[in-house]
A = this chain, B = another copy of it.
Amino acid sequence: MEFEESGIGEECGVFGCVAAGEWPTQLEVAQVLTLGLVALQHRGQESAGIVTSNGAPSPTYTTLKGMGLVSTAFSPEALLKLRYGNLGICHTRYSTTGISELQNCQPFVVDTLHGKIAVAHNGELVNAHALRKKVMRHGVGLSTCSDSELITQLLALNPPMEEQDAPDWVARIKNLMTETPTSYSLLVMFKDVIYAVRDPYGNRPLCIGRLVPISKLHSPGAGEQDTEGWVVSSESCSFQSIGAKYYREVLPGEIVQISKHGIKSLSVVPRPEGDLPAFCIFEYVYFARPDSIFEGQMVYTVRQRCGRQLAIEAPTDADVVSTVPESATPAALGYAHQSGLPYIEVLCKNRYVGRTFIQPKFGALTDNFAGKRVVLIDDSIVRGNTISPIIKLLKEAGALEVHIRVASPPLRFPCYMGINIPTKEELIANKPEFQDIAGYIGADSVQYLTVEGLVSAVQQGIASHQEDKMISPTNKSSKRVGHCTACLTGKYPVELEW
- A interface list, Cβ under 8 A from B: 31, 34-35, 38-39, 41-42, 45, 69-71, 74-76, 79, 102-103, 108-113, 117, 132-133, 136-143, 145, 149, 152-153, 155-158, 160-163, 217-218, 237, 240-241, 289-291, 297-298, 300-301, 326, 329-330, 333, 337, 342-345, 348-357, 359-360, 363-368, 393, 396
Contacts and interface: CB of A to CB of B under 8 A. Distances in A.
Nearest to A159: B139
A139 B158 contact: yes
Contacts of A289: 348, 350, 363
Nearest to A290: B348
A334 to B, nearest CB: 11
A140 to B, nearest CB: 5
Contact of A300 (B42, B353, B367): B367
14 contacts: A42-B351, A42-B352, A111-B141, A111-B142, A111-B143, A112-B141, A112-B142, A237-B363, A240-B364, A241-B360, A298-B367, A329-B345, A333-B343, A343-B343
Q: Is the interface of A mostly helix, strand, loop or mixed?
A: mixed
Please indicate which of the listed interface residues A132, A237, A297, A366 has the most CB atoms of chain B within 10 Å of its own CB: A366
Given A359-B241, A360-B240, A367-B301, A137 B163 contact: yes
B142 A161 contact: no
B133 A359 contact: no
A217 B395 CA distance: 13
Nearest to A114: B136
A368 B300 CA distance: 9
B41 A71 contact: no
A44 to B, nearest CB: 11
A108 B367 CA distance: 37
A359 B35 contact: yes
Given A39-B359, A354-B70, A139 B111 contact: no
- Please provide the 5 A-B residue pairs with the shortest distance between their CB atoms, ordered closest to farther: A71-B354, A110-B141, A41-B352, A291-B363, A139-B157
